[in-house]
Amino acid sequence: MEQTKHVLLIISISSLLLSFSAEAICVPKNTTRQAHPPARLPSIRSPPHVSSPPRLPVASHSTPFDPAVNAICEKTDYPSLCMSSLAPFLPSRNNPAALLEMAIKASVNYTEAALAKAMHLSSDPSTSSITKAYIADCQENYSDAIDNFNIAANAISSGDIGLMNSMLSGAISDFQTCDDGFAEMNELDSPFKEMDMKLSHMASNCLAIAALLP
C-alpha cells in the first residue's frame, strides 16, 4: 500500500513538472512588457526652403553708357563720378552741351540735398550755437552755388563760355568756403566735408565738359 502511494506521488509530481515545461515551451515569457519602451526620437524635418534674397538692381553708374558719353566723361578729372551723376539724367542727345546741362542739373540736386541737411542741423536743438553760426554760412554758400549753377546752365544756349566758367568756378569756391569756416575752429569738424568734396568734384567735371563746347 505504501509502495502504491509512493508511485502515485511520483506520477503526480512528474505530471505537474511536465505541465509547467509544456507551458514554458509553448508560451515563452514576454520580457518586453516589463522593459520601458524605447524613447521616441524627435522627427527630423528638412529645413524650410529659404529663397535667396532678391538681387539688388545694378547701380546706375555700372550700366553701359553710350560710347560718346564715356568719351566725354573720360576727359573730366573724375570720370566715374561724371558717369554716375549723369546716369539718372541722360538725355536722348549725347553732345557736350546736352551732357553739360545734365551735369549741372545733377549738381544742383546734390547742392539742394546739402542745403536741406544744413537746415535740418540748424534746427536741431542738440546743435551748439557756434556750430549753428557756421552752418548758417554754409546755407548761404549753398544758395549762392545753386544760383551760380543756374546761371551757368542758362549760358549754355548762348554759348557764353566765359560766364559758364565764372559761375562754375564760383560754385566750387562756395563749397570750399563752407569747409573753411569749420576749419578755422580746430575742434569742429565740418558735417558737410564729404558732400562739399563731392560737389566740388561735380562742378569741376562741369568745367571740363564746358571746355568741350564748340
- State yes or no: pLDDT of 39 exceeds 70: no
- State yes or no: pLDDT of 51 exceeds 90: no
Residue-wise pLDDT tens digits, 54-65: 332 333 434 556
User: Which pLDDT score is estimated for 11?
Assistant: 55
* DSSP sequence for 156-200: HHHT-HHHHHHHHHHHHHHHHHHHHHHHTSTT---TTHHHHHHHH
What is d(CA 206, CA 103) in angstroms, rounded to the nearest whole number? 6
Residue-wise pLDDT tens digits, 73-116: 999 999 999 999 998 887 677 899 999 999 999 999 999 999 99
pTM above the 0.85 mark? no
User: Which pLDDT score is estimated for 201?
Assistant: 98
Q: What is the mean pLDDT of residues 40-67?
A: 42
- Residue spans per domain, the chain: 104-210
Q: Which residue has the cell 578755422?
A: 184
Q: Which residue has the cell 549723369?
A: 86
- State yes or no: pLDDT of 21 exceeds 60: no
What is the third-level CATH fold of 104-210?
A: Butyryl-CoA Dehydrogenase, subunit A; domain 3 (1.20.140)
